[in-house]
Structure 1
Amino acid sequence: MIALFRPYTKKASNSILILWILLIFVGIGSLYFHATLSLAGQLLDEICILWVLMAGYALFLPSIYLPQSWRLQRYRFVYGCIIIAIVITSLSVVYPYANAFALMLLGLPAIAFMGTHIARCDNRRIKDLGIRCLVLWTIAVTIWICDRVFCPFWLSISFPYLHAIWHVLIIFSSNQAIVICSYLIIKQNYPQIQLNLHYWPYEHWEYFGIPYVKFANDVDLLTSHNIKAVV
């Protein structure tokens, strides 16, 4: 994703690199946690997810949802997200059992915001990707709940794999959500700029390829400075 989004980071915002890097740490933390089942591994895994969510809010939350005084000074909102992330990180160490449920609740507004803006989007390919993202997220959360609530049952029939399926589905939906938000934040502020949705490795792999966005051409850009000020 870092490679596919290189044109976007150059012309729009290199801040999106933070999300891809954090997702790498989520993968490392999750690997360590599931290999050791240690408290340190659990905290590393869940704290990384927390920072992904807060970074997503800081970068992509539409200005219309912010107080009037913050809309022209978005850095205040960014600092606020950092402070909230630090506070929740501290609390997660005190009572780790609640972390997973807190992360689920923290992710709900993001899904609501994305669903609302996808419904208004006039780009058919982005809208289809948004629907697939929401469906994947819904299936993933349902699987997570079934695994959490009915764990003894799945163990009794020797099928302890739901949590693994959850991980696969949620990383795909997370990637799709970041791609969608990276498109919407530019189109919301600069409707005249042409962004195209592509799939890697083949364009016709809409259901199995990796989505990314790319500017149609350089002429449509206002200036890199102006666009970077948005994100």
Structure 2
Amino acid sequence: MPSIFSYQSAEVDWCEGNFERSTVIAEYYNTISNVSFFVLSPALLYLNRQYRQHRALPMYVVSGLLFCVGIFSMYFHMTLSYVGQLLDELSILWTLAVAYSFWYPRVYFPRKHFFWLSGVTTVISTLMSFIKPAFNAYVLNCIAFHLLYLTWCELKKVHRMAAVMVLWWVLAISSWISDRWLCGLWQAINFPYFHSFWHVLIAMSLLYCCPLVIYFDVSYEMPSFKPKLEYWPSDSWPVVVPYVTLEEPHKQC
């Protein structure tokens, strides 16, 4: 029986050919495309620095966990080991759980009840990762439907950023599904790289999703401030990166 740390001991093997471009990296492009997560974390911290001054803990914790997602995903695709698969899926699961616990609006669910619900759900999903990790990967992606529902509920407030976030997510999940379900086609035309696109596109989606969540968090949890959306490098550019600034609270006479 192979060790759980052994190369190619995972249940999942993505469409990209193994060891075609390196003798030590199983899926070369799926591995290096995770650099997008290493850019994502510091970019979120830097662009949303004004919010970070008031809510440092969620910003540092979630950004740190996103960095860990990149590390574990890189390790998984480099080795295709069972341990790598578990670390990859569990890092995504716990990043989502922590982000929900920090930023889920109280207006939609009482905070105490929500902590219990999210905690139980996270524990069950963690156990499922050990029982059936391949199935758990599909479940993790389904969380996006709830995020899309929340986005739809608040769409009129931040229409542009929400719309672009949804676009990036649709492209990302399309790449993920294409690599999983149409692998034979992509291998036939010698282009098995859609899972690499998934890494980059989902990082771009998160670059829009996190400021969106921050915007709502300021609106609901910091009523003395007014959130304002800004775009880097300029609002007039066709491709921009959003971030949140806070208008100073009004002075009381």
Q: Which residue of 2 aligns with 1:19?
A: 62
Tell me how far 1:188 sits from its aligned partner: 3.6
**Equivalent of residue 150 in structure 2, options 113, 121, 130:** 113
| TM-score, scaled to structure 2 | 0.74
Kept in 2, the 8 Å contact 1:57–1:110? The answer is no
Specify the SS of the correspondent of 2:225.
coil
Q: Which residue of 1 aligns with 2:107?
A: 64
Q: Which residue of 1 aligns with 2:95?
A: 52
Q: Distance in 2 between matches of 1:100 and 1:82?
A: 19
From the CA coordinates, give the structure whose radius of gyration is larger: 2
Q: Cα gap change, 1:196/1:96 in structure 2, threshold over 3 Å: closer, same or farther? A: same
Gaps of 5+ in 2: 1-43
Gaps of 5+ in 1: 223-231
Moved over 4 A (4+): 189-192
1:45-194 equivalent positions in 2, closer than 5 A: 45-66=88-109, 71=110, 74-119=111-156, 121=157, 126-189=158-221, 193-194=225-226
Question: Per residue, is there more helix in 1 or in 2?
Answer: 1
Q: Cα gap change, 1:106/1:7 in structure 2, threshold over 3 Å: closer, same or farther? A: same
Q: Cα gap change, 1:7/1:147 in structure 2, threshold over 3 Å: closer, same or farther? A: same
Tell me how far 1:45 sits from its aligned partner: 1.1
Q: Distance in 1 between matches of 2:67 and 2:238?
A: 23
Tell me how far 1:132 sits from its aligned partner: 0.2
What per-residue deviation string (whole Å, max 9, x for no partner) do you get for residues 117-165 of structure 1?
Answer: 123x1xxxx3201100011111211221121111011011100111111
Higher relative contact order (CA 8 A, sep 6+): 2
| TM-score, scaled to structure 1 | 0.81
Kept in 2, the 8 Å contact 1:147–1:162? The answer is yes
CA RMSD across the alignment: 2.3
Aligned-pair identity (%)? 30
